[in-house]
Amino acid sequence: DAKTTQPPSMDCAEGRAANLPCNHSTISGNEYVYWYRQIHSQGPQYIIHGLKNNETNEMASLIITEDRKSSTLILPHATLRDTAVYYCIVRVVGYSTLTFGKGTMLLVSP
Amino acid sequence: DVKVTQSSRYLVKRTGEKVFLECVQDMDHENMFWYRQDPGLGLRLIYFSYDVKMKEKGDIPEGYSVSREKKERFSLILESASTNQTSMYLCASSPESLGNTEAFFGQGTRLTVV
């Protein structure tokens, strides 16, 4: 029972912005949107999370639509090291576990 | 720098062996998790623990057990390893809170059962 929908793969040129979409049309009011990424042969790495406001940190920006049914992760200047699988996850406040979908494989090319 | 350390990066075991996968975190986190990752199936939660000696089943607990005798250590046990348990195993930890937290993952243990 998928709670998020992401494209299976995306390409991006090095130095350009990578915009990764995620649909979560059944999101509840008490669910956060989390983004993780997994570089090949490594464990997943936290990127960013948000509830309803847009968020930015040193890694990325998260844009959540006003109805909260979709979001976009933005890597402003993608590098080759950003090549990874990116997971969008919705998670209930107070609930500890993360349920991973299949994510988006982002390939950053020179 | 926060760290979740898994005892082995690669492991090869024989069918029927009892296998222990160890995970240690140095962040004083309450929650610890074991996932397995398989091609086409993504990451699936096996077990998690929210306190010492406490455990909860995840989505695929069959064939596994866990032990958490100390806060920093969470062990995954394969009582009698089988070839369908060949997989990448990932440990994670997170602090206890109302849920607004990130989880930290180890590098993974690639287990092959022959």
Mean pLDDT, residues B37-49 taken together: 92
Average pLDDT, chain B: 92
How far is CA A98 from each of CA A35, A47, B98, B108, rounded to the nearest angstrom?
Answer: 11, 14, 14, 17
Q: Inspect the interface and report whether the beta carbons of A96 and B96 lie closer than 8 Å.
A: yes
A98 touching B (Cβ < 8 Å): yes
Provide the pLDDT confidence category of residue B97 given band limits of 50, 70 and 90.
Answer: low
Mean pLDDT, residues B29-40 taken together: 93
Provide the pLDDT confidence category of residue A93 given band limits of 50, 70 and 90.
Answer: low
Asked whether residue B57 carries a pLDDT value surpassing 70, the answer given is yes
Question: Pairing between strand B10-13 and B19-25?
Answer: unpaired
Asked whether residue A61 carries a pLDDT value surpassing 60, the answer given is yes
Are residues B58 and B48 in contact, defined by beta-carbon separation less than 8 angstroms? yes
Structure tokens at A67: 């109805």
Q: Inspect the interface and report whether the beta carbons of B31 and A96 lie closer than 8 Å.
A: yes
State pLDDT tens for residues A76-88: 999 999 999 999 9
> What is the per-residue pLDDT for B38?
94
Provide the pLDDT confidence category of residue A2 given band limits of 50, 70 and 90.
Answer: low
Asked whether residue A96 carries a pLDDT value surpassing 90, the answer given is no
Provide the pLDDT confidence category of residue A98 given band limits of 50, 70 and 90.
Answer: confident
> What is the per-residue pLDDT for A1?
45
What does the alpha-carbon distance between residue A14 and residue A16 come to, in Å, rounded to a whole number?
Answer: 6
Mean pLDDT, residues B68-92 taken together: 97
Structure tokens at A58: 């040193």
Q: Which of B37, B105, B107, B109 to mutate to test the interface with A (most CBs of A within 10 A)?
A: B105
The conformational region for residue B64 under phi > 0 = left, psi -120 to 50 = alpha, else beta, is beta
Q: Inspect the interface and report whether the beta carbons of B43 and A100 lie closer than 8 Å.
A: yes
